[in-house]
Structure 1
Amino acid sequence: MDRQPRIGITTSYKDNRQSVDHYYIAAVEKAGGLPIIVPMLATEEAARDFASLLDGLIITGGPGITKGLTGTLPDDLEPVDPVRDQSDTHIYQAMADKPIFGICYGMQFINAQAGGTIYADLNAEHHGAGPHSNGRGGEPHPVDLHPGSRLADVLGETRVTVNTYHIQAIAQVGPGLDVIAHGDDGIIEGIASTDGRQIGVQWHPERLPEQLPLFESFVAQCRQAMPATIQ
């Protein structure tokens, strides 16, 4: 019997506690994957061992990115805990040959790892940017999906309405990444690696039932990447 693709889900970390929104777990399960919570991994060796159990990785939302910043973090954004930053880096590098889906912080993390830059405060640094954080009055807004991109193909549309929870944003994509979605204000809302292995979105599709196809597509990609002997 074929087994379900095992999808690692990273967690938030604060005050010596890990947590993850159930939306991620439910979305993976509904999409046909087996959700597996990624613990805080302190060493590269531990991350390699854990990565061997997984077929794909979702890097979830989180606090403020601290790498590749073009400015100073604002007072209303908490920086990522070094424990999570280290763990995310270890598991990301250990999953180098497997599919990865970055969501919100996760998309920015992928870009920073690729050598791209991040607006520390998009409203302070990007002229004309609208409010993208609910704490700053941000509301659901339209996003243009580039025709022919994976996002447009999977969702069957080139313009969708998304939720918004971020203060930071990608300023410049790193080498090996393409921009595949934009907001009306020019903010980068979606990226994909040129090899097709990685994808990222700035919004939270796990909270949008109509965007379950994004998770179904990712789980299917992970299934295709599984060794033939265990599919």
Structure 2
Amino acid sequence: MPAHIGITTAHTDGTQRLDRRYTAAIENAGGVPVVLPITASDRTVEETLGRIDGLVVPGGPAVSEGLTGPLPEELDALGPRRAASDRRWIEACWQAGRPILGICYGMQRLNALAGGTIYGDVEAEHEGAQTHSQKRGATTHPVTLHSSSHLHRWLDVDTLPVNTRHLQAIATVGEGFSVAATAPDGVIEAIEHESGRLFGVQFHPERTGDITRPLFRAFLGHARTASVPSSA
């Protein structure tokens, strides 16, 4: 039975949007993507929770919780509707023990909700930071995977070439999380939770095809067995 993976969506001027590469990544890894609504209804979340095995929180605008400094002018702030909706989906899945994969904004949001802090502008605040906002899709720098991490085991490599397009980054990890990968300048590129069910990557694995497909396959494997309630 394939894993059904909920994917949260962007919200702009009353319209929900989702990059098709997220759904394609889930399908190519053997799963069934379920596009989730922007919602203020706890009932909708509760009813849908029984139909999904895991959650992907994709890229988006600026995280506003736990900031260590001001946002750069060119970065859009997260709107209140998506902020509230994403929090509902994340907290419901977290409490139900559903695996969660946060990508870019999604990783930062998981970290902030766990009490971690976020650089408002990583290139201004992190000493020695390289340029982390570059052309979409290009693999522009390597990340080093920590040998004890799930990410290292899933991908079976020590370093990984990634694309990078973010102005924010994790400053300190939230409760229960640990660093799973870093960029050459020390910026945190991946985190994972001690529960073994919550993961985050700063880069965009949906855009790098075969290189990161094992990540999605492993995440789907976790989702297929996600029936034990989390104590996180």
| TM-score, scaled to structure 2 | 0.93
Hey, what does 1:147 align to over in structure 2?
147
Q: Secondary structure at the match of 2:212?
A: helix
- Matched residues, number: 224
Match of 2:24 in 1: 26
> Is 1:75 the equivalent of 2:76?
no
Q: Which runs of 4+ in 1 moved over 4 A?
A: none
Structure 1 portions without partners, runs of 5+:
none
Read off the aligned partner of 2:207 and give its amino acid letter.
Answer: R
Query: Structure 1, residues 139-175: CA drift from partner, whole Å, max 9, x if none?
Result: 6101000012111111110111100010000000011
Contact 1:106-1:200 at 8 Å conserved across structures: yes
Opposite residue 98 of structure 2, the aligned amino acid is: K
List aligned pairs for 1:96-111, cutoff 5 A: 96=94, 97-111=97-111
CA distance in 2, matches of 1:144, 1:83: 35
1:214 is matched with 215
Say if 1:151 and 1:206 are closer, same or farther in 2 by CA, change over 3 A.
same
Q: Is the 8 A contact 1:41 1:91 kept in 2?
A: no
Q: Determine the C-alpha separation between the residues in 1 that align with 2:92 and 2:51.
A: 11
Say which SS state the counterpart of residue 95 (structure 1) adopts: helix
The letter of the residue matching 2:79 is D
**Which position in structure 2 is the counterpart of 1:4?**
2
8 Å CA contact retained: 1:71, 1:121: yes
Matched residue type, 2:47: D
Conservation of the 8 A alpha-carbon contact between 2:58 and 2:102: yes
Per-residue CA deviations over 1:172-213 (Å, capped at 9, x if unaligned) read 001110111011101000000001010110000010111111
**Structure 2 alignment gaps of length 5 or more:** none
CA contact (8 A) 2:139 2:161 kept: no
| Superposed counterparts of 1:1-231, under 5 Å | 3-96=1-94, 97-134=97-134, 140-209=140-209, 210-226=211-227
Amino acid at match of 1:95: C
Give me the identity figure in percent. Answer: 46
CA distance in 1, matches of 2:152, 2:51: 31
Q: Secondary structure at the match of 1:134?
A: coil
